[in-house]
Amino acid sequence: MSDHSITIVPRQSAYPDKEIKAKEILDWLVSLDIVKPTLSDCVLSSNDGYPISEGAKNISSEPDLLPFGLWTSGLEIITERQVFHTGQNGMEELICPSCKQDIANEDWDFLSEWGDNKSNNLTCPLCNDSTDIHQFNFTPNWGFSDLGFTFWNWSQFTDKFLEDFKQKLNCDIDLVYTWI
Ligand SMILES: [Zn+2]
């Protein structure tokens, strides 16, 4: 069986005091019994994650599809600058905010400007305009930040939970669906 994940990513390239915010969000999720507080080997990464817990059923719109009993079922918290991409879901369309052209089929080297932390912008290979990466329109959604919350093999969240998450982060979010 292939694995998938949903990552909640703030729409900010550099999140202020990200470590403090990561801890605050973790405490919030633990207080609702959504994840367990102790790290274990439950995510598809070299890092450890926080295991799923019973309260996850309250914030899922498809609780029967939650990954209880699966090994890969935890929450991974990322606090390093990262391109949160969609894996096999790929990139169908990437629209430049200046020239409105689709640059998804151009050489993806232009992404390294952000990935290498040279800038929080992307430079469009067609019109050469440099714009904040979050002004570009990715389909499906990709995420660009130094903070992210990846839930491995979880089903869809409720709208209420996503609203609460936005409030905790105090900014808009990208939801990134990844297939491995
Ligand atoms: Zn352009």
Spacing, Cα 84 to ligand 1 middle (Å): 22
* Residue-wise pLDDT tens digits, 13-64: 999 999 999 999 999 999 999 999 999 999 998 899 999 999 999 999 999 9
- Whether residues 16 and 100 fall in one domain: no
Spacing, Cα 174 to ligand 1 middle (Å): 22
Spacing of C-alpha 135 from chain mean position:
17
- Whether residues 74 and 125 fall in one domain: no
Spacing, Cα 125 to ligand 1 middle (Å): 7
Domain extent at residue 170:
4-84+141-179
Per-residue pLDDT for 73 more than 70? yes
- Whether residues 13 and 52 fall in one domain: yes
- Whether residues 45 and 107 fall in one domain: no
- Whether residues 50 and 65 fall in one domain: yes
Angle at 165 between CA 20 and CA 138, to 5 degrees: 100
* Residue-wise pLDDT tens digits, 141-162: 999 999 999 999 999 999 999 9
Spacing, Cα 100 to ligand 1 middle (Å): 6
Beta carbons of 127 and 99 less than 8 angstroms apart? yes
Spacing, Cα 106 to ligand 1 middle (Å): 11
Element (H, E) at 18: helix 18-31
Spacing of C-alpha 165 from chain mean position:
12
- Whether residues 14 and 80 fall in one domain: yes
- pTM of the predicted structure, to 2 decimals: 0.96
